[in-house]
Amino acid sequence: MTPADRLDGRDGDGGTPAPGTSPQEGGHPPPALAPAPPALEHDVLRSLLGAWALAACSPQETAAVEEHLGGCGPCAQEALRLRDAVGLLHPPESLDLDPGLRTRVLESALQRRPARVPVPEWAAPYDTETARLDALLQDFGDAEWHAPVRLRWFDAGTTAGLRTTVAGVIAHLLAVDGLVGIALGLGDPLAQVLGDAAPGVAPPAERTEAYWRAARRPPTRAVRGPWREQSHAVVRTVSFTGGSSDALPVSYGGVELPLRDALLDRAFECWVHAEDIADAVDYPYDPPAGRHLHHLIDLAARMLPRVLAARRRAGLAAPPATARHLVAAGGPGRSLRLEIEGSGGGEWLIPLDSPGAVGSAEHEVAHVALDGVEFCRLAAGHVPPEEAAAGQLGDREAIRDVLYATASLSRM
């Protein structure tokens, strides 16, 4: 009998015999020779061998087994074998896989055999960040899943917050990633929970709250599977639709982003919330790799002109200094130079007066320098604009407007 045969029998039950232990071979001592009355039968003693090998019997049982082993060859043989096996039990190997290993392994493989269906470059940060978060969740027990997490964002000039749990954060990511899923025709994960009451395409906070409310109990670790399945399905689907789909509009219920930007946005949110979770359970968590971070910063920088305009309309940002700064679409406009330091950094010229204008070095009125991770924390609403550690030069009002606009990119 090969080990495989024996293992294959595992789904049956106690019927799987180990070699040399079948009752026929086991050989009951003839009743006449048995000490009278036998304290424990051979069958019972044999059934105790596992517990005996693990030192999990009572002292009386242990003594009875050991006495029996002296006179029963097959049991003695099995006892030896099982005791050896105990020596093979080890605590599980180190659990923390280097999170950077995934990227290195995938890159080596793709160098050796280029993909015929690659993951689009703009989807790579989402692929990597969801994998990193999933690896963080890997060994969480119930205590971690229910650890309190405070979500923070910048709203109406101040930091807003909301308490949930680690599982609640994953439910939030599932609900909002679902907007990308809907746009790709993958179906709405909320529809499975909420049926017709699912909010469909709606702002992220609305979808999240609908989902949280609908569940009779707070979310549990069971939310991990659907979240991960959806993120895998998104990467799989955009790989097939490839470059042609990057402009596909994804509606956030009011705001619309092209698919490539929506996936950068989701990668950003995934990282930010992974950090929230890591903080809550006191684990270390690194920022994304430089080249992915660069994409995320670039998305924020590209969104700033629109946010500035919206804030100006709402009376929250200064109007253009003089009429001459009202520029024609596509023309150069008054600009702020955003210099991002560190891995993933770079320079961006942010047109200040109109989303239609083009950033221009000639019309630079201010210069802000920030570390990349600090900039992202500002954009996530985790650092108030007045506290962002930024080097500043030039028009103070422009700088203030841009820092506040960056913070108001954040949402729940």
Partner 1 sequence: MPTRDAPPRWDHRMQQRLARGEAAALGELYDRFASLVHGLAHRVLGDEDAADRVTRDVFVHVWEHPETYDPEQQPLRSWIAGLTHRIAVQRLRATETAALAVTGSGGTEELERRVRRASVAARADYIVHSMPAPLRAALERAYFQRRDYRRTAADLGVTEDEARRRLRLGLQLLATAHDTGTPGAPPGNGGAA
Nearest approach, Cβ of residue 176 and partner 1 (Å): 21
Q: How far is CA 243 from the centre of its chain?
A: 25
Selected from 22, 27, 47, 161, the binder of partner 1 by CB under 8 A is 47
Q: Per-residue x/- mask for partner 1, residues 283 to 322, rule CB under 8 A? A: ----------------------------------------
Q: Say if CB 271 and CB 289 are below 8 A apart.
A: no
23 binds partner 1 (CB under 8 A): no
| Nearest CA-CA partner of 270 in 291, 290, 292, 253 | 292
Instruction: Concatenate the DSSP letters of all residues of 228-292 into one string.
Output: HHHHHHHHHHHHHHGGGGTT-EEE-SS-EEEHHHHHHHHHHHHHHHHHHHHHHHT---PPPPHHH
CB atoms within 10 A of CB 68: 24
Nearest approach, Cβ of residue 11 and partner 1 (Å): 7
The span from the CA of 249 to the CA of 244, in Å, is 12
Selected from 18, 76, 162, 365, the binder of partner 1 by CB under 8 A is 18
Taking contact as CB under 8 A, which single stretch among the options 66-74, 105-113, 286-294, 332-340 is the one that binds partner 1?
105-113
Q: Per-residue x/- mask for partner 1, residues 221 to 240, rule CB under 8 A? A: -------x---x--xx--x-
22 binds partner 1 (CB under 8 A): no
54 binds partner 1 (CB under 8 A): yes
The span from the CA of 259 to the CA of 400, in Å, is 30
Structure tokens at 399: 């700088």
User: Do strands 346-351 and 332-341 pair parallel, antiparallel, or not at all (unpaired)?
Assistant: antiparallel
The span from the CA of 292 to the CA of 272, in Å, is 14
Q: Per-residue x/- mask for partner 1, residues 55 to 84, rule CB under 8 A? A: -xxx----------------------xx-x
Q: Could you list the residues that contact partner 1 (CB under 8 A)?
A: 2-8, 10-11, 13-14, 16, 18, 47-51, 53-54, 56-58, 81-82, 84-86, 88-95, 97-98, 101-102, 104-106, 108-110, 112-119, 127, 131, 134, 138-139, 228, 232, 235-236, 239
